[in-house]
Every structure is written in C-alpha cells, then in structure tokens.
Structure 1
Amino acid sequence: MAKRDVNIVVISDVHLGTYGCQAKELLRYLKSIRPKQVILNGDIIDIWQFSKSYWPESHMKVVRRLLKFVTEGIPVYYLTGNHDEMLRKFADFNLGKFQLLNKLVLDVDDKKAWIFHGDVFDVTMQHSKWLAKLGAVGYDTLIILNSMVNWFLTTLGRQKMSFSQKIKGKFKDAVKFINHFEQTAADLAVDKQYDYVICGHIHHADIRTIKATDAPGSVLYLNSGDWVESLTALEYHKGNWSIFKYNPADFASEPDEEDKADTEDLNNSLDIKVLLEKFKVETH
C-alpha cells in the first residue's frame, strides 16, 4: 500500500497501556500516511489504568512512530483527555514541533476548528470521578472478554462482534448521552463562532452538521472515534473531512514495515513506564 498524503489527521482514545488498545493496527495506519499535521485528541496514553507489568513493544512502537513525525518536522499536537489528565499540569509545553495543550484552535483553509477531548461535558467525570474510573476498569475487562470471543468467532469463520456497542445500542440512556454530548459541543461552538468542533471521548466517530438549540446557526461536528473498538480517525485532505475506518483486508498483503523508529532504544521503554507510574503516584 502506497503512503497517502493527508493534510490533517486527528486521532483520539488510543488508550496505550491497556489490553484493549489496538496498537498494531494503529501502527500500520500511521505508517500508511504522510500527514502534514497530527492532532492527538486525548486519552492517547491511559494513565488511569497504567500498569508497569503491561507496556507491550507494540505500544512503544506507536510512541516512536509519533516521535518520528516530530523529528521529520511535522507538527504534533497532544491534547489532554480524562485518562491522561495528569498531563494537564504540563499544558502549553512546547518542544520543537511537539505541543502539549488542553485545547486547540486551528486555522483550516480560512475556517476555525475548535478541538478538545470533550470530557468536560461528562457529568460523571465532573462529579463522580471514582465511578468513571471504576467504569473504565470494567470496560477494559469487557474488551478482553470480547477479544477472546472474537478469536473464537474468527476461528469458526464468523464475523466479529462488539459487546460494548451492542450494550450501548440497547440502552436509551447511552444513546441520549451521546446526542446530548454532540449537541452541547455544537451549541458552544456556534456561540463562539467556530466553523468546526472536533472531539473524542465518546468512542463514536461522526461527521455531521448540527444546528444550535437556542440560536441561529450551525457547525460541523466531528468526532474521531477510538482505537479500542471502532479503529477510526479523522482525516482532512484537499478541503474535505472524512472518517478513516481501519479495515484489516486493506493491510493484509502489506508486510509490517520495520524501521529505526520501531526498534531503536526499545530497551529504554522502562523509562516511560517509570515516568507514567510517577504521574499516577503524584495524583494520589
């Protein structure tokens, strides 16, 4: 597969450091594009659930690939989310082409894009953080069980299934939360006179125009989805936004490209483990 040129790529909810993270698939995707700007819109590293006993080489390779973009002079914006909120104390940190921010306003062909993770709209996050963290552990466990079932289904030649998406689809409150999240983001963006509002957090990729609730105007709402289940990203190229959906068949004939970014200093990955562990300790 030839590398594709992409003006902007937006990725969120990767959850590196958890069993549910699809790091190998994300790495293949990152190797398949030549982006001009990369936006990491929160929950890239899951510091909430981080454990020194689980940091696979594939997760380290994703970090190396992102750093490779920086060394190539490609701007990389890391916007903090709730699972990596410990990084918020370091917001506005700049290192060459790398910036750590809580939110970003970006000029996109003379239009203003307002970009942030979106956990600020989550009532559970604001008032019952312990409950949200407990739910995150349960979600990760569900993903592990789901992966086992999908392995069995694949062995039988049957289609994979998503436990969490089926659960969300059956509960009206989950659907209502997503709709409320999207409408709230749109209303604020219209009020601030932005052309785009780009979020993550809810693991539901989407691109659609949303009208404001109590005011004239509308905004293009975009969500990049996640790299745990839906395996999606937002791409902007030649004036158009689109949702990239990872399809294993598109990468089946391509050997995994090994290069220096994948292999150098992998033995030093423990340094990152120690750093993340310190983040966790500092918050308790």
Structure 2
Amino acid sequence: MRDQAQSPKAPLYRAVFVSDVHLGTKGSQPEMLNAFLADASCEKLYLVGDIIDGWRLRKSWFWDRHHDALLRTILRHAKHGTEVIYIPGNHDEMVRAWLPLGLEIAGIKLMEEAVHVTAKGEKLLVIHGDAFDSVVRYAKFLAHLGDHAYTVALVANRWFNWGRRHFGYPYWSLSAWLKRQVKEAVKFIDSFEVALSQEARNREMDGVICGHIHHAEMRMIGETRYFNTGDWVESCTALVEHHDGRFELIDWPSVIRASRREAAPARLPATAAAPVADALAENAPIPA
C-alpha cells in the first residue's frame, strides 16, 4: 500500500488512536495494523498502551518480520510530521520507568497520559486504563492467571481462523465472541467503562479514550463521552477523529471484507453459465 505518511497531501485523519497490539505474542496481528496505518495518515497518532507485550516476551521470545514492518511504519509517521504519543499500559509497563525522564525516542513522545483537544474544542483524557482494573491493580497474580487463559483462547482463535481461510471465509474473532458470552465479563466491561467516565468527569474533561479491555466502544455515559479503541489481537479496531471533530471506530476486518466484495468480479447465475460457454465455443451470439 502507498505510504501516505510521506505524502504532501493533507492527512486523512486529524487523529488516530490504537492500543493493545501485544507485539511479542503469537495472537498479535501486526500485519493487519500495518495495512491500516500505511494509508492512515494523521496529524496525531496515539499508541494507547500494551503495544509491546513485555509479560509474554519475558517468558518466551517471539518476533517476526510483521512486527518489524509495523515498527518501521510507525517510525515513518513520526519522521514525516505526525506527532506520535506512546502511553504505556500494564503489559508494556517497563516503559513506565522511562516516563520521569521525559524521553522522546525517534520522534515518539513517551507520556503517562495525555489530553487530546478535539476539533470542536472538547478535552478528552487519553489513558490506557489498567489503573481502573481492580484485578490488575490489586491482584497481579490473578491478572497473570487470566492472561494465561486468554492466551489459550487466542491459540484456539488462530486455528479457528486458519480453518475459515482454508474454506474461503473471512476473519472472525472466536475469542471475542466467547468473551461476550460470559456474563461476568460483560458486567466487568460495564463497570470499567463507568469508572473511566467518572474519572474524566472528576477531572472536568468532556470524555475519555482508553484501551486495556479489548472491547471497542463509543458511547455516552451520562454527559461524558466514552471511547475504547479495542485491540489488534481480536477485533482489529482503531478510533479515528476526522477533521470536523467527528469520531469513528474503524473495524479493519470489515473494511477488508467490503473491499474484497467491491473487487470481486460479477458472477453469472449457474443456469446461464452453460449457454454462455457453448456460445463462446461456437463463436455464436451470447444468449440474453
């Protein structure tokens, strides 16, 4: 794809927000994110935590060419004028040790949190959100145990989608579907969203943008705007702000499916195929 980060044209988006890529895990889908970011030129790119999975990399090393390609694309954005802001999460918490130093690495700013001002003048708190997850905050052992179970689900998801590709079906997240069926998970997501929205209100913000729970969402909670970027392990979603201040959740697998449908050649009905073939063979007019 064309790299619009190098284009002199106006950026496609005012801001792009992505989180929970979990580079270093086999469930991560850096090639999907790279395909999106290669053309998603923007004024600001927010990396909202868990971009690199330090938890997993400490246990076993996994890094391939798709990981490298994604990092190169992000660095190209920074090099060609995009303001790139990296807000670490709990899986890349090793980066938090560098925050007091105020470092900027290859044009990428490291920040504990940020305030994004929209084109309409709204102030949005940008934060990963793990501090509002009581399991991560108070019982890290349970969080790691949950991480192991989640890894097992992602392995199942990978094989499930291998089978779908084999039979010509597009990507569909089994692990995300399973999570939505668990009543306690649904209750947790709701309480997490309410807690983040309350924090934004306490800080006199108009809304909050976060990640962490791998559940893309865009809704009003009371008078507060709540956005969750989703992830690039299951759903492959990103939040974008257009130049008029309008926000949109980009569901990248849906974009890919739509583009394939548009590119697919029109097919004749089976009943018409034989007469057309016969006509071509005899150099005769094709029947209407």
CA–CA distance in structure 1, aligned partners of residues 67 and 96 of structure 2: 22
Q: Which residue of 1 aligns with 2:129?
A: 118
Tell me the CA shift for residue 150 of structure 1.
Answer: 1.8
CA contact (8 A) 1:15 1:44 kept: yes
1:149 aligns with 2:160: yes
Q: Provide the secondary structure at the position in 2 that maps to 1:48.
A: helix
1:227 aligns with 2:232: yes
Matched positions, count = 247
Gaps of 5+ in 2: 5-10, 262-288
CA–CA distance in structure 2, aligned partners of residues 27 and 179 of structure 1: 30
CA contact (8 A) 1:74 1:97 kept: no
Q: Which residue of 1 aligns with 2:118?
A: 108
Larger Rg: 2
CA–CA distance in structure 2, aligned partners of residues 143 and 188 of structure 1: 31
Normalising by structure 1, we get a TM-score of: 0.81
Tell me the CA shift for residue 90 of structure 1.
Answer: 0.6
Supply the AA of the counterpart residue of 1:226: D
Tell me the CA shift for residue 16 of structure 1.
Answer: 0.6
Gaps of 5+ in 1: 212-217, 254-284
Tell me the CA shift for residue 136 of structure 1.
Answer: 1.6
Percentage of pairs with the same residue: 36
CA contact (8 A) 1:12 1:224 kept: yes
Q: Which residue of 1 aligns with 2:79?
A: 71
Say which structure is richer in strand.
Answer: 1
Tell me the CA shift for residue 96 of structure 1.
Answer: 6.7
Q: Structure 1's 243 and 161: CA in aligned 2 closer, same or farther, altered over 3 A?
A: closer
CA contact (8 A) 1:42 1:84 kept: yes
Q: Provide the secondary structure at the position in 1 that maps to 2:115.
A: strand
CA–CA distance in structure 2, aligned partners of residues 134 and 102 of structure 1: 26
1:176 aligns with 2:187: yes
Deviations 1:176-230 (A, max 9, x none): 100000011111211211112001001111111111xxxxxx1111010000010
Q: Which residue of the other structure, out of 86, 98, 101, is the alignment partner of 2:108? A: 98
CA–CA distance in structure 2, aligned partners of residues 134 and 142 of structure 1: 13
CA–CA distance in structure 2, aligned partners of residues 68 and 159 of structure 1: 30
Deviations 1:32-55 (A, max 9, x none): 211110000000000110166410
Tell me the CA shift for residue 143 of structure 1.
Answer: 1.0
Supply the AA of the counterpart residue of 1:21: S
1:48 aligns with 2:55: yes
Greater RCO, 1 or 2 (C-alpha within 8 Å, sep 6+)? 1
CA–CA distance in structure 2, aligned partners of residues 165 and 42 of structure 1: 19
Normalising by structure 2, we get a TM-score of: 0.80
Q: Structure 1's 157 and 12: CA in aligned 2 closer, same or farther, altered over 3 A?
A: same
Q: Structure 1's 5 and 128: CA in aligned 2 closer, same or farther, altered over 3 A?
A: same
CA contact (8 A) 1:38 1:77 kept: yes
